[in-house]
Structures are given as structure tokens and as C-alpha cells.
Structure 1
């Protein structure tokens, strides 16, 4: 069970003003991993409320699907109530329910889908399944104002370089094994770092104290990257280096970040050259990392472009990132029948028909 006593504060903590007549509202539920979030977004892109809660396990442990699903079941209804209260919204004002269809962990996904179906029937509004990755992209675009950037999507379960073309988000490069966030999380467990608020965040803080760069494998294969070999190498070398006094935990965190972030910057720049864009948008939980943003800014600045990035309110999984693309899909008549409100752990970013973009 989570060690957090209350839901994390919403990005729109103060009660929102009444919604102007004619603007539709969407309520979104996100629960693909260890965070469950409920967000309410208005038709003009204004986020009315966005509370969430995180399932946190003891140091050195990950989170399992069954326990995570139980956490989401415990928090779903109270987060819906909190979102309505913070957004100054009644159920009768909600135009549609959006939920995360995938990708993600099966049990947690299904738990939130069940709540979405319940609300759809209870409030008699359409329901829409949203791709988690597309949710991150559209959230980043509406929050930052980015128009048509190359997107670096980095999280615990995904690592992709993406650009838009012909109503699809095309994947130009990705990890061929584990995601960058998973690599950081597993190394944090090896060091015994806390999972509160997140293992990757704690690695970032420790890395700032590092002064020695340890040479690690650098694995870029064309447009793709690989992190499993780097993780295996540093896991094997960490104990010996620390025992001999040749490196501190801070040095190891610093070295791991510098190496894997350099790989991400390289494949992002290659995609930029290919599509002819000088702007970059970073989305996903790892996108909160200020060192990654700093390294990307140097590269983008040299190309005369602009970097778009957000903080943990929008980078980390949240309900608003599901509500907003749900509202965009609703505007194009993209709803689904209740019998088709399924979930899938494997749902590629480029499978989505992005009908709302020209």
C-alpha cells in the first residue's frame, strides 16, 4: 500500500471559475503504471483540475501489477470527486469520459477502464480510449505551445523519437530493449535509493554531487538505442568501484545520466536533420530531468531552434493528458461503443489516427 497519506496536489489546486457556455469538458483517467490521475480539461485547452496519487513501494522494490491495480481501485473514486471539486464542475457538465487504452500494465489499465465505463453509463456521456503516448505528446503541445516539433518521449516504459506526418505520429527511433526510465529505476534499486517521490528523481539529485565520469558503454544503433547492456555493465561494476573507493554512488549516477542522455540527444538531432525541424519537445516522466533538458538545450541552441519542456505537473503521468486528446477526438466524432472499451498493454504510438491534426 502507498506510503503517501493524501493525493498529490492538483496542477489547478484552487477552485476554477465557472466554465463559459458552449465549451465542452472531458474527464480523463490515467492509470497505466504506478500513478493514477484524474483530470478535467476544457475545450479551449484550459486544465481545470489534475489530481493524482502514486503507489510507492519500499526502497529496492519495484511495483507489481496486482498491488498497483488494487491501489488504483482504492483511489479512483476519491480522485474523481477531488477533480470535480477543484474544477468547480458537476457531472452534468462533463461531455465525455476518456481513459488510457494502453500501453501499460494490464491490471492497472483495466482498473481505470472499469471506472471509466461506470462513469460513462452513470453520466450518460460518450467514452473514448486514448493512447498513453499520444496523450503525453498532446499534453506537451497544449501546455508549451509547440506547433510541430520533433518529440523525444522518455518514460519508465517508453523511449521514442517521434515526428508528425500525415495524421500519424511517426516513430523515427526507439529503444530496442528497456526504456530509459526503467534503466534509471533499476539502478536506483541497486543503490537502495527511495522510491519516494520517484527513483529517477533521486538519481538526478545524487548525480548533481558526482564529480568523476566513469566510462560506460555507449550504444546507438542508427536511430535506435539500447540500455540493457549499459545497465548490466554498471550493475556489475558498481560494487567493485565503490568497494575500492574508485567511485561514489554520486559518481555512478552522474556517469549513467551523462551517457544515456548523450545517446538520446544524438538520435534526436539525427531525426531533426531528417525531417527538417529545429524544435524539440520533451515529454514523459524522464522529461522532468533538468540535466536532460540542459543537454538538449545546448544541441537545439546550436541549431538555432527552440526546446519545449514542462515540469512534473505535466511530464509525469496525469489525467489531463488523457482528457485533452479525448476531447480532441470527440470533436472529430471519434467515440467508441462500450463493448469496445478494451485495454492493451501493447499500443504503438504510430497506430493512432490523429484525425484532429491537419
Structure 2
């Protein structure tokens, strides 16, 4: 691509309950970053059909507002980028159809983006992280990742449910609000002190690390069977359970991340994904990283950790700049991180 013109991408994200539109440039400048979340009542999750309807109702106005906030028109946009997967099928289809329609109307190239790669590349550009070990933690994914030989390789992952899904489902068990998110509300309860000022009680939960992989479904089952019973009997509080859950699952994530760092001879860690906003996870990871010589922890706040359109736009524009051609439009609910050819990185330091 020519260096004489500022290259701009419009990104569409809607793989789960967050609909997001973002506008970015090739050099990583954020021109607009809009997000609208579908929030359900306490004790409930979000279903594909209702979530897709939410996306359909808001997406066009969000595109209009994103362009307005970025102070550009459709003529300034060089490519449109959308989430191909992974995600909820109905939601992915709504966003893909709108992106494809606008691309045809505006006569712009359309770039499919892997959701996980979007998180990674957004983290790299925002945090200026060259070649870190990546901990990707969200509602639908839990992976430890490192770049090698043209792909993002998965060194460890969950063998059942994702860490964010575990937190969300526990929040439903104790009837926590989904506003702004279940995980955020668990984090707030886990920070509290007892009425007498003492620390919350740590309750030992199943700790399941299998080599480089982790498992969270057994922890959730234990909480449902024994934790709720302890809560009813007054043997613990909801705050105790939230605190214990966070301490346990985050320790598991820190363990496998450190093991990947040792394997790859890397001291830097980048945390991405919605759960990456959790300050307790960041604190625990920082403690581990700081004990390694010269280690750096790269972490972001909710603007870029939580699903956003900018991450899709930026990963897409990197791909567009590398090949400058249009792709077919399709979606897939299962689209693994290590399936993507990372053609914009020619060496480990890029």
C-alpha cells in the first residue's frame, strides 16, 4: 500500500452480547470506538436470537455515529473489517451481512478477522508490546499464546469452559447483576472487607491444571453443589465465594502463563480479552512477572480489553495492508487462533 495516504479501516464486532464499531488508522490511531452491550436481567444469560436482534436494531446507527465521531465519511474508508469468528452464529451473521452490504454499496474491500487475533493485535499496538506471551481470557476463550513461524501458537487452553463463562455462570448462581458485566460485579464483591474490617475468608476450591491446560467446569460444579449450601447455612458469604473463585482461577492462569514464558524464553506478558480488565488478575500476573528478570506486564483497561470494533479494524487493516485484496464473506463459530496465517509479521519482533 502507498505511504502517501492515511489508510483507514472501519471495524465491525458482534460475536457475543457486545456490538461494537471502531475506526482506526494503519499506524494504530483510534478515531472512534463505540460499543453497545445487550444486558439481560440478573440470573439470566443472553440467548443467540435475542442478542442478534439487539445487534440488528443498533448497528446502522452505530456505524453512522462512528463515522461522525471519527470526522470522516465513507469515502475516506479504505476497507471494512468484520469478525468472522469465533462467536455466536446468529450474532456473527447479522454483523457480517451488514458489513458485506456496506462494502458492496461503498465499493470497498471486505476483510474477515479472527476475533482472538483482533484482541492480540490491539493489545500489541496499544501497549507497544513487541513479542510477548499472550494470555487471552474472555467469556468464550481461554488461551496462552505465543507467535512462532507465521502463526499465533496456542501453548495452553481451557479443556472445557472459558474463564469468563465460569465467572458469568457463577454470577447467575448468586443472582448478581449483568450490568455492566457479571465478572465486574464479582470483582467488586471480592474486594470487600468483612463488617469488622477483617479480610474475606478463602475457601479452598478445586485447582485443575493439566500440563499447560486448565479446567473450570469442576470448580463451577463444586460451587453449585457445595458453595451454595455453605452460603445458605451461613458458613460463608457471597463475598467469600467471589474472592475464593478469583484467587483460585487466576492462580491457575498465572501458573500456565509462567510455564509458557519459560518454554519460550520470554519475560513479557500481554493480557487481552474481557477478563483481562480484572485488576486482581493483573496484580497476580504482575507479581509473577516482576520476579522474572526484566519482565514487563502489558495490560489494558475496558476500552480495549472488552470486545471492541477497533481491534477488528486494526487486525483487518494489517491484513489489508499486507495483501490489499478483497476476501469472501463468511462466518464460523469455531475459528481457532492458530488457523490464521499472520502474514503481516515477518519476524518475531514485529
TM range (shorter): over 0.9
d(CA) in 1 for partners of 2:287 and 2:143? Answer: 20
Does 1:345 pair with 2:333? yes
Structure 2 SS opposite 1:203: helix
d(CA) in 2 for partners of 1:223 and 1:268? Answer: 8
Aligned mate of 1:44, from 13, 27, 31: 27
Query: 2:73 — aligned with what?
Result: 90
1:336 Cα shift? 3.6
Aligned pairs for 1:1-358 (under 5 A) are 22-209=5-192, 211-304=200-293, 305-333=295-323, 335-337=325-327, 340-358=328-346
In the superposition, the TM-score normalised over structure 2's length comes to: 0.95
CA contact (8 A) 1:194 1:202 kept: yes
Comparing 243-252 with 30-39, greater Cα deviation is found at 243-252
Structure 1 SS opposite 2:345: coil
1:288 Cα shift? 0.1
d(CA) in 2 for partners of 1:134 and 1:332? Answer: 15
Comparing 301-310 with 239-248, greater Cα deviation is found at 239-248
1:21 Cα shift? 6.2
1:140 Cα shift? 0.3
1:347 Cα shift? 0.2
d(CA) in 1 for partners of 2:155 and 2:6? Answer: 36
Task: Select the structure with the greater relative contact order (CA < 8 A; seq sep ≥ 6).
Answer: 2
1:328 Cα shift? 0.4
Structure 2 SS opposite 1:282: strand
1:334 Cα shift? 5.4
Where structure 2 has 5 or more consecutive residues not aligned to the other structure, the ranges are 194-199
Structure 2 SS opposite 1:51: strand
Query: 1:14 — aligned with what?
Result: none
Structure 2 SS opposite 1:128: strand
CA contact (8 A) 1:149 1:281 kept: yes
Comparing 116-125 with 154-163, greater Cα deviation is found at 116-125
Aligned length: 337
Query: 1:9 — aligned with what?
Result: none
d(CA) in 2 for partners of 1:347 and 1:216? Answer: 32
d(CA) in 2 for partners of 1:315 and 1:189? Answer: 22
Where structure 1 has 5 or more consecutive residues not aligned to the other structure, the ranges are 1-19
RMSD between aligned residues: 1.0
Structure 2 SS opposite 1:193: coil
Q: What does the per-residue CA deviation read over 1:55-109, in whole Å, with 9 as the maximum and x for residues that have no partner?
A: 0000000000000000000010011011001000110000000000000000000
Structure 1 runs of 4+ off > 2 angstroms?
334-337
Comparing 183-192 with 239-248, greater Cα deviation is found at 239-248
d(CA) in 2 for partners of 1:357 and 1:23? Answer: 20
1:245 Cα shift? 1.6
CA contact (8 A) 1:212 1:251 kept: yes
In the superposition, the TM-score normalised over structure 1's length comes to: 0.93
